[in-house]
Structure 1
Amino acid sequence: MYMPSTKWTWSFMGVTVFQCIVSLALEGYVFGRFQSSLDLARGGTAPSDALTIPTYLALFIFGFLYEVVLVWDALRLKNTIQVIGICIYNLGMLIYAAVEMGQVSDAINKLEAKGDIDEGTWIALRPYLIAAPCVIALCTVLLSFLAWKLYDEFAWTIYKHISADLRLKRRYLTYQIYIALLKFDFFFFLGFTVQFLVVVPNTSNFEKWLTVAALPITVVLLFFAAFFTRRESYAGQIAVIILYFAGMAYFVFKLVRMYEAPEKRVEEYKPARRSLTIFAVLTLIALVLTMVTAFVCMRNFNKGLKPHIQKREVPNADELKYTNYGPDQFNGPSHSLEPVPHRMTID
């Protein structure tokens, strides 16, 4: 449960929490103002076009809270790859906030045309919808700078933990990339699923329950994916990779269905088709990267990395200096390493 206590780690966490509070306050105001305008016009009954804004708010709440958890986890594990991934994740939230403006505008225009919402609602909400991506953009720049500082800080600790063997360090880096990808896969899949279930009407019972069932299956899959990698299980890793292929087929099917379904069905996808497409494409890209990294991790089995990843947390500099981390306490039993290259670097 330990998190390193340095000015850069606290700054990184502080920027993340600040962004979460400010962004959720802006989104909360947008949601409240929208709902009050809608209630005045409809007496509390919300038409289907109005579902986009509550869905966006739910995703932003989960997205930013999940990011705070990811930041704490990355700092605790000194995972430089996950820290860099959080900056990319923040950039994705920036794109999502920008896309939100267009889809909220379209939804309000449709509602105004039907007389389902007060006139002037878009004018009242636009400044807050513009402010949200501006705040995220500023925090993305700050997080990127802090990530650079944290990279230098964590590199030395990991260097001491893994040793100077460059081949072993590359294997550990691959493992870090894989674990970070698994955590981001969860958010992308959940974001797509929530939007599909809430915004898209008239989904068949079979497709709806299949989508609902995919959520717990995904959580279990990601857990076992990390477990099999740490245990260096070939059978488990191969099974997980096969399931990655199944996941890719699922999202390709959803993309085709959004654009090639019968005309009536395509119209039902339109309220959230842009954001659904973004999430589906990002999930596909993440799955491809995850699958490739899983192959590389499997090639690295039985090559000396297992003892270094049995304990998930990397000891900090003080622990390495002032405590007795013997082979049986941290690094596990002794193991043979490949010849160490003549040239050794920290990075």
Structure 2
Amino acid sequence: MAISEAFRKMPPAAQVGCWLAGAQALAVIGMEISILVKVLKYVENVFSSWSSDKGVAIYFMLLTIGSLYGVFLLVGGALNGDTIQIIGFCVFNLFAMSLAIFRYFQVRAWLYGRNVLAAGDAVFGMIRPEMIASVAVMAVVTAVFVVLTYRMYHSFGWEIYKRVGADLKMRRMFINYRLLVLLLKLNFFMFVGFAVSYIILILKSSDPEFAITIALVPVTLAVLSLAFWGLRRESVALMWTVVVLLCASTAYFVFKVARMYDPKQEEKYASQKPMMTYYTIVSLVVIAATLHQAATCLANFGYGLKERIEITRGKRSDMEQIQDYYVNAAGDRRMNLDG
């Protein structure tokens, strides 16, 4: 009930954006199901080998979960008036589109290299329209969101003033805070997606890395939860712990890239090297950006941002101590423009 009420109060551009993101998710998931069903129907022993044949299933998983995760980012940003998270949805959509493009070429190479019930080009011809359509849908939606995001930026601009006041320094700190929150959310998808892909495509249960990579998923969740808690509480100790762990994650991904191009490991990575390399590089970029934002937010601790955010969430009652706000007769916070 509360969510539906909040949705009705959204600006028109935000409502259109939410419906559009949901429609994209349904369209992409429908096409992914169609692709997977056709491959399972016409290709013999799809999951016979450890790596290459499972590539279709991995792309299906990444694109399906990615579509739903994009809706989560967009709706969360619209409900909270967070234009940074809405922009993050656009960037995330571009990343998902790039995975769909990778999938097109890798699936084509895989089908042409197999002995299938129908000729490889015939099977590829069956699924090619859906693969192209999924890329086109994400490209069109991202282009439309450039316009919608511009409109939402102006619609939600007042939210920053309501939350942190007219102080430009406080606004910059709040923007850095929200950007770090977004990057932590993106990190979760990147880490978990990489771990699952690596486990299914590359590793075998007998590999020493198998258990370590499985453990990466809950450890990642714990680290990111720690980061959210430390950021919200402005805990210097927790944030430094997160920075150290993110540095360790950077070393882990660099190690994985080195392994992919180790001649002794060439057979293990041969079929999935392009996609896994790309995914790893993007993950490293996201981690680097997260480290930068974590350091920036650490430098902002102790300057009053936490108190401002607590006030707007109703966790503090000392509203009268903040000169930039007043409460009207209806109990709503409004900017004080007299100071």
TM-score (norm 2): 0.88
C-alpha distance in 2 between matches for 1:182 and 1:29:
32
C-alpha distance in 2 between matches for 1:54 and 1:232:
41
Tell me the equivalent position of 2:304: 304
Aligned structure 1 segments of 4 or more residues deviating by more than 4 angstroms: none
1:130 maps to which of 128, 132, 153: 132
In structure 1, what residue type is equivalent to 2:268? E
CA shift for structure 1 position 277: 1.1
Residues 1-347 of structure 1 mapped to structure 2, 5 A cutoff: 2=3, 3=6, 4-38=9-43, 41-42=44-45, 46-48=48-50, 49-111=52-114, 115-119=115-119, 120-202=122-204, 204-262=206-264, 265-310=265-310, 328-329=316-317, 334=321
In structure 1, what residue type is equivalent to 2:31? L
C-alpha distance in 2 between matches for 1:239 and 1:335:
32
The 8 Å contact of residues 194 and 280 in structure 2, kept in 1 or not, is answered as: yes
CA shift for structure 1 position 105: 0.6
In structure 2, what residue type is equivalent to 1:284? L
C-alpha distance in 2 between matches for 1:172 and 1:218:
25
Q: Residue 127 of structure 1: SS of its match in structure 2? A: helix
* 1:176-219 deviation line (CA, Å, top 9, x unaligned): 10000000111111121111111114464320110000100101
CA shift for structure 1 position 117: 4.3
C-alpha distance in 1 between matches for 2:215 and 2:41:
34
In structure 2, what residue type is equivalent to 1:30? I
In structure 2, what residue type is equivalent to 1:334? Q
* 1:282-321 deviation line (CA, Å, top 9, x unaligned): 111111110111011011111010112337xx68xxxxxx
The 8 Å contact of residues 74 and 86 in structure 2, kept in 1 or not, is answered as: yes
The 8 Å contact of residues 108 and 117 in structure 1, kept in 2 or not, is answered as: no
Tell me the equivalent position of 1:322: none
C-alpha distance in 2 between matches for 1:97 and 1:45:
20
Moved more, 221-230 or 47-56: 47-56
C-alpha distance in 2 between matches for 1:13 and 1:159:
24
The 8 Å contact of residues 59 and 99 in structure 2, kept in 1 or not, is answered as: no
The 8 Å contact of residues 203 and 210 in structure 2, kept in 1 or not, is answered as: no
CA shift for structure 1 position 5: 2.6
The 8 Å contact of residues 308 and 332 in structure 1, kept in 2 or not, is answered as: no
* 1:143-185 deviation line (CA, Å, top 9, x unaligned): 2211111111111121122111000000001001000000011
C-alpha distance in 1 between matches for 2:319 and 2:210:
47
Relative to 1, partners in 2 of residues 1:202 and 1:157: Cα closer, same or farther, differing over 3 Å? Answer: closer
C-alpha distance in 2 between matches for 1:117 and 1:310:
62
In structure 1, what residue type is equivalent to 2:189? F
Moved more, 198-207 or 277-286: 198-207
CA shift for structure 1 position 96: 1.0
CA shift for structure 1 position 46: 3.6
Relative to 1, partners in 2 of residues 1:58 and 1:189: Cα closer, same or farther, differing over 3 Å? Answer: same
C-alpha distance in 1 between matches for 2:11 and 2:98:
31
C-alpha distance in 2 between matches for 1:281 and 1:200:
17
CA shift for structure 1 position 6: 2.6
For CA contacts below 8 A with separation 6 or more, give which structure has more relative contact order: 1
Say what the alpha-carbon RMSD is for the aligned residues: 2.2
5+ residue gaps, structure 1: 316-324, 338-347
The 8 Å contact of residues 47 and 53 in structure 2, kept in 1 or not, is answered as: no
C-alpha distance in 2 between matches for 1:295 and 1:335:
27
Number of aligned residues:
317
